[in-house]
Structure 1
Amino acid sequence: MHPPLIVVVLKGYPRLSETFIAQELLGLEKAGLQLSLISMRRPTDARRHPVHDEIRAPVLYLPEYLHEEPVRVAKAWWKARRLPGYKAALKAFLRDLPRDVSRNRLRRFGQACVLSAEWPEGGAWLHAHFIHTPAAVARYTALMTGTPFTCSAHAKDIWTSPDWELADKLAESRWTVTCTKTGHDHLQSLAAEPQRVHLSYHGLDLDRFGPFQGQRTLKDGSNAADPVIIASVGRAVPKKGYDILLKALAALPADIHWRFEHVGGGTETKRLKALAESLGLSERITWHGALAQEEVLALYRRADLFALACRITPDGDRDGLPNVIVEASSQRLPVVATDISGVPELLTDGQNGYLTPSENPDAFAEALIRAIRDPHRRAHFGLAAEARVRSAFDYHASIRQLKTLFETEWQTHP
């Protein structure tokens, strides 16, 4: 049986910060599945990862804001309203609107109209990456077109969405996958049929992140001419906890010599640079901005430690298992991190990494001190973390699982 064309709804494409999604899309294509990509936003990153250039699927960009393309939206609505499922989609939208009175809700319905009207030829399945706004567009589109839909849920989208909306989407989707046990348990608790929620770690393309063949140094921070390199990769946004990390760096003893290198863009960059200046750290920090994947890999290989102080923000936003921690671990780079969400599913404190509570700069500083001053122990942790990644986080396993889920549905509901 020739596989149906899967129409994949994405919040934005391509995105440097979402390599795990691009990796999955390419993996599904290599597994023989046919994809058509739908992006709710145009790209904002000036650069691309090599994986984006290997994906063959065409991309359709929906109007990010309805008022920017009024003629396109009006034509789409006129066409969509004649679809057999339009009334069911409108009924669902009108049921959702009083619980979420916002322009965003109207925008998702409008985008669904555009997608339904400009439906990719041969499209027979809908899959949403993220269970918040992309799944809203997918759900309304599925109702309008009569197309089955499925969903991949991740982190922020789970924890910042109201339970009523998650429950509705879980009930209407054929299945949902998510990438951490904490997210999996939460979604199962809301699902009428918990068995349709599956745990699927993203894993890593270990062909792109092959074993590091070089020798890691045994720096202990005692040489001012050859300081310990502490690396971090992540967007400068509140949930990444970079203010905590900077305060921890400021608390390191004067006899420890270090440099910090950060990779990533983000709205908090200016504020973090100001904080670093106020803490007297600026001369020891390099802010690289966004880098391509091969440049990030080079940083992993020349650094001595990787650090990420993720937190849960007041609105519930958080990471799942940050892919950068998996990447760093694949290169034998020891990791100091906070023990939230899915991080303990990869790293165990005192066995293959250094984990601390979130929101605690002093504890994070102590972990950094232990890692820096005992290079043999951190080297042992790096080896153990790499072994864990290569045995349990190979993305080919996730691709096989997703392909099986799709094919089982197609055979059950041809």
Structure 2
Amino acid sequence: MRVGAGETVRNSSPGDAVLRQCQLQPCERRSRPGRTAQGVPDRLSALWAAALSTCCDDVSQHRALPWSAPYQKKGAGDASVDRLNGCRAVHRAGPPMQAEQTGERSNVTPVRHYESGPMNVAYIVGSFPHVSETFIVNQIVGMAARGHDVHVFTTVPTVIGGIPTGVQRYRLLEHTHSLYGPRNPFIRPIKVTGLMISQGWRVPRLVLRALNVMRYGRVAASLGLLIAGLTLLRQQRTHAYDVIHCQFGTYGEAALRLREIGAITGRLVTSFRGFDATKYLRTNPHAYDALFRTGDLFLPVSQSLADRLVATGCVRAKIVVLHSGIECGKFRYIERRLIEGEPVRILMIGRLTEKKGIVYAIQAVARVIASGRNLSFTIVGEGPLRAELQRLIEELGVSESVKLIGWRTHEEVVGLIESAHVLLAPSVTGTDGDEEGIPNSVKEAMATGMPVVSTSHGGIPELVEDGVSGYLVAERDVEAMADRLRQLIDRPQAWAAMGRAARMRVLAEFDTEKLNDELERLYVALVEKSK
């Protein structure tokens, strides 16, 4: 399946099949107004028509729709540095009005217009925005940037971390709604009363279904399902969502309940990102049976997760592998070199949990230090295993070289990535069955041209090519990990070639702009199919 200029994503046939079923035709630009970068509708139809005419006169300023024209490949004479840093070019100039008003160079994708105008898309997430879920934020911002009417429904009414620029630019917090309402037992009845007065009396059957404790259990007894149903219904009265996209499999379950009680319509899309297709299914093997039967599209972030879904009963024709992307333009390519006498700087990024395999990383690094190599090992992140890991570091006598530095902002993490030589990512399957999809920290490090030592775990082999962009070892194989680290430390002249291969792999398959183009195309396919 095509995702960008001259690039393809592996395992594309299911997505192509979805598009073929929809029999899409090239879409014409119509005169329905979309949202500007500030989120304000243009209500003056005459001005809109003039602007539309202007933009259509100069077709060169707008990219062809993905299915309406062949892609142009780079010429063979393009410089390699352009290819390695070409990711910055995907951040295209925004709408002319915004640039004129702010005087700033915009990196917003121009609004596109389909036969029926911009789509109404609802996202069901945990908290929004979440500092450790930039891949979700980028996806939602990407759809707003493409001119679609985006609303976010949170199951956790908190903001974790700062407010990203894109969220501010499109005023997405103004379009973010708490799905289950306040948790305070005294305020909750007030919320329900307000919703019943404004919405509930219109839909008595929905109210009765939402209160069916025998069918829906605790979520009905707590009034959570009723609050969620009336909240969504209130928004749908003015927006009529074309697509409801659940960002984890567990939220797909919630959306299915909301569809059953009549609170939502539209096509149901569900992403699977790791624990929701591994750990959760291990303890709830039939949790998604109904979702697999009635859901419209499933988007696992790796082929390994796709295989899990098929093994659990999902029809393969409903599955498209859509990787989580990163903003490649934020990561500049740096050719790694070792200055004589300086230590090799090894970096690891992730929550301090079992599935990150940090215990094995520390043990492997300790063996490399014992062999006389000069290195430092920095571990970024917080989590429940911090005290245990600190004890292990002290027991192995490597406190001078191995440091747990705790949580850091994303900007600080990028700085650490740019100054490191090698990334270590020893992910393992947890004893509870929890697995990774494809860690974003590995993508970000590879985007800067850093070689990686990782494990053949989850979707990591879909990103790291053993012996080309890094090394892969078996899970929990401490000696093999130590051996690969020694090879990289002893051969710094190999870093540049591995780093270039790493950068090219991320540019080709994990750039968020290309992946958002593909997601948009899948949305349009579903909407057209429903007509």
State the TM-score, normalizing by the size of structure 1: 0.87
Which residue matches 1:290?
407
- 2-structure distance, mates of 1:90, 1:173: 23
1:100-138 per-residue CA deviation (whole Å, 9 max, x = no partner) reads: xxxxx6389843322222223425242210002x22222
Which residue matches 1:128?
246
TM-aligned CA deviation for residue 74 of structure 1: 4.5
Give matches, 1:69-88, under 5 Å.
Answer: 69-72=187-190, 74-75=192-193, 82-85=203-206
Q: Quick one: which of 428, 437, 443 aligns to 1:311?
A: 428
Q: Which amino acid aligns with 1:257?
A: N
Which residue matches 2:219?
106
Which residue matches 1:170?
292
Cα distance, 1:188–1:73 mapped onto 2, change above 3 Å: farther
Give matches, 1:254-265, under 5 Å.
Answer: 254=370, 255-265=372-382
- 2-structure distance, mates of 1:4, 1:44: 26
Cα distance, 1:280–1:111 mapped onto 2, change above 3 Å: farther
Q: Quick one: which of 6, 10, 18 aligns to 2:133?
A: 18
Which residue matches 2:276?
157
Give matches, 1:334-353, under 5 Å.
Answer: 334-353=451-470
TM-aligned CA deviation for residue 202 of structure 1: 1.8
The answer to whether the aligner puts 1:217 opposite 2:334 as a matched pair is no
Which residue matches 1:100?
none
Q: Which amino acid aligns with 2:145?
A: K
- 2-structure distance, mates of 1:172, 1:76: 32
1:171-191 per-residue CA deviation (whole Å, 9 max, x = no partner) reads: 222211111001112213444
The answer to whether the aligner puts 1:29 opposite 2:144 as a matched pair is yes
Cα distance, 1:110–1:338 mapped onto 2, change above 3 Å: farther
1:145-175 per-residue CA deviation (whole Å, 9 max, x = no partner) reads: 1423221111111112233112221222221
The answer to whether the aligner puts 1:199 opposite 2:314 as a matched pair is no
Q: Which amino acid aligns with 2:337?
A: T
Query: Which moves more between the two structures, 149-158 or 78-87?
Result: 78-87
Q: Which runs of 5+ in 1 are unaligned?
A: 98-104
Cα distance, 1:49–1:270 mapped onto 2, change above 3 Å: farther
Cα distance, 1:215–1:150 mapped onto 2, change above 3 Å: closer
Measured on the aligned residues, the alpha-carbon RMSD in Å equals 2.7
- 2-structure distance, mates of 1:146, 1:188: 26
- 2-structure distance, mates of 1:143, 1:77: 19
TM-aligned CA deviation for residue 321 of structure 1: 0.7
The answer to whether the aligner puts 1:366 opposite 2:483 as a matched pair is yes
The answer to whether the aligner puts 1:241 opposite 2:353 as a matched pair is no
- 2-structure distance, mates of 1:281, 1:48: 38
TM-aligned CA deviation for residue 230 of structure 1: 0.8
CA contact (8 A) 1:175 1:196 kept: yes
CA contact (8 A) 1:48 1:292 kept: no
1:328-355 per-residue CA deviation (whole Å, 9 max, x = no partner) reads: 1010111111110111011121122111
- 2-structure distance, mates of 1:242, 1:106: 37
- 1-structure distance, mates of 2:465, 2:239: 47
Cα distance, 1:199–1:85 mapped onto 2, change above 3 Å: farther
Cα distance, 1:246–1:189 mapped onto 2, change above 3 Å: same
Which structure has the bigger radius of gyration? 2
The answer to whether the aligner puts 1:117 opposite 2:233 as a matched pair is no
State the TM-score, normalizing by the size of structure 2: 0.69
CA contact (8 A) 1:229 1:304 kept: yes
